[in-house]
Chains A and B, each alone.
Chain A
Amino acid sequence: MATIILLSFLFQIILVIALAPLVTGIIRKTKARFQHRRGATVLQPYYDLVKLMRKDVVVSSVASWLFHCTPFVVFSSMVVISLLVPTVVTPVPLHWVGDIIAVIYLFALGRFFMALVGLDTASAFGGLGSSREMSIASIVEPAMMLAIFTAAVTAGSTDLSVIVDRLSTTPASMLNPSHLLAFAGLFVVSLAETGRIPVDNPATHLELTMIHEAMILEYSGPYLALIEWASQVKLVIFLALMANMFFPLGMATTWSPSALAVGAGAFLLKVIGLALIVALVESTNAKLRLFRVPELLVVAFILSLLSLILYFIVGA
């Protein structure tokens, strides 16, 4: 029993955390293809991380202890979340620790420290990034809560493993209108949360537009690598949430090798498919003006709200 638990921890960590840079690489490659460039290899994010790990850290003389501990807080919160999110097999390794609400607040913990560290070094850009991040987060969080609650209400539980199990046993409910709307809402929320293009541009350091990049502008070397890696993991976690909370096809429920193989294959297909959709959205849309971002997020919020209302109208 103990070995199985240990094994499940390792499996999940390897799958989510080690594969995260690859997913980012796939998105970048797809975007490059859309722009008629050849683009860097899909393994480039790994090389970047290794290169950053080898470099020295430059720390501002006014930086406090927050500056040193934030990368670890952010990364470890992502590691814990990745053990809470269903990927290949249910129940998830840490299912006795917390449910979907714990996941949302672990995200909030990482964001809180990032915002603090943006202010810590007193650089003009850091504060700007923090204020933008927090104002966007204040709209993103309720929208995300509502979208997730729709799935939770459908399954009658906020435990992610239970949600996945219930959905797997009644596949027809995956096509409920309320379910589809909640998925659309969560998709927009994910774009905002992971700093993708209509909200934030992950590829630029232009002062007028950056949000996430502004907060981490002071970071270098291994610290930067940890934070970059954490945001790549965050993207994979969101893709996994979307894929498995709404379409848990092919999820393994036992630890037999064949079920695991099917589960892992389905997970990879779903995550890469969603990553391609994200790349498509990024390639076909322009970044919104900052003051238009709340409109987009309110659309996401309303979609989630509608899905919850429709759940009670249609009565799934």
Chain B
Amino acid sequence: MIPVHLPLVELLIDIFAASILVTAFLIVSSRSLVFYIRLFALQSLLLGMVALLVVIGYGETHILIAAILTIAIKAIAIPVVLTRVIERIHVQKEIRFRMSITASLMFCGGIVILADSVAQSILRSPHAEASAVTRVLSVSIAMMLIGLFIMMTRQKALTQIIGLLTMENGVFLSGLSITYGMPLIVEVGIFFDILVAVLILGVFVFRINKTFESISIDSLRSLRH
């Protein structure tokens, strides 16, 4: 496949990357678990689109399978599984926060600035080449940190899963931005890892809910006794 360096592709990659960042912020700003899952599905769809654009714009055909897997697994399969879990445990909302939504949003704004300065120092090295894809690096670092932040400040087990998945999306995006994607075997490995992890975690959430009558992770401390 002949690589076509279209300015249009670069523009679209910028727009999709910005939208991915916005979905991460919307996850931080919302309370409803269903909304979290839908936003995650949208985020993964946008991520798949970025990967597809890398295939089209830069001729990296080996990403194609990873892109299709991203859309199939992360944008469709995992959200469906998680929605089933929510339907069965009848938990709709994240109620108690360790940090208020307003403060979390401000904090995540700071995270983006931090991520950008880190990314800039990476890209300043002589081997880095500037393109729309490398510019995405700061977005991907911000995604990893925001995912970690979601895991730290939210209490429901399901939100923890969403945080983990957001981090994973960040990792995929950073792989995409630095090296146009990791080798296919690694990507496929990660995908099945994630899928199985979510399936198991989904079952876990269900069992936790049955045992403790809640999916708040604070209750898990009582296991120590």
What is A's interface to B at a CB cutoff of 8 Å? 172, 175-178, 180-181, 184, 294-295, 298-299, 301-303, 305-306, 309-310, 312-315
Cα distance A243–B50 when bound, in Å? Answer: 28
Is the C-beta of B64 less than 8 angstroms from some C-beta in chain A? no
Given A302-B25, A313-B116, A181:B108 Cβ within 8 A = no
Q: Specify which chain A residues have a CB less than 8 angstroms from the CB of B112 in the assembled complex.
A: 306, 309
Docked CA distance A303–B19 (Å) = 11
B18 at interface by CB-CB < 8 Å: yes
Q: A303-B22, A306-B18, A310-B21 are in contact. List 6 more A-B contacts (CB 8 A).
A: A177-B14, A177-B15, A299-B26, A302-B105, A303-B25, A306-B25
Bound-state Cα–Cα, A176 to B112, Å = 18
Assess the B22–A306 pair: CB atoms within 8 A: yes
B133 CB to nearest A CB, Å: 12
Q: Is the CB of B102 within 8 A of A295?
A: yes
User: Which A residues lie within 8 Å of B106 (CB)?
Assistant: 298, 302
Total B residues in contact with A, Cβ cutoff 8 Å: 25
Interface presence of B101 (CB below 8 A): yes
How many Å lie between the Cα of A184 and that of B18 in the bound state? 12
Contact with A along B27-67 (1 / 0, CB 8 A): 00100000000000000000000000000000000000000
Docked CA distance A302–B14 (Å): 18
Most buried by B among A172, A294, A299: A299
Chain B residues whose CB sits within 8 angstroms of the CB of A305 once the complex forms: 109
Which 5 residue pairs are nearest across A and B when measured between Cβ atoms? A177-B18, A298-B102, A177-B14, A302-B105, A295-B101
Which positions 95-118 of chain B face chain A at CB distance < 8 Å? 101-102, 105-106, 108-109, 112-113, 116
Contact across chains for B109 and A302 when beta carbons are under 8 A apart: yes
Contact in complex: A299, B17 (CB < 8 Å): no
Docked pose: A142 CA to B119 CA in angstroms: 27
Q: How far is the CA of A55 from the CA of B135 in the complex (A)?
A: 62
B197 CB within 8 Å of chain A: no
- Cβ contact of A178, chosen from B11, B18, B26, B105, cutoff 8 A: B18
Taken together as a complex, chains A and B put the C-alpha atoms of A274 and B15 apart, in Å, by 21
Report the separation of the CA atoms of residues A306 and B113 in the bound assembly, to the nearest whole angstrom. 9
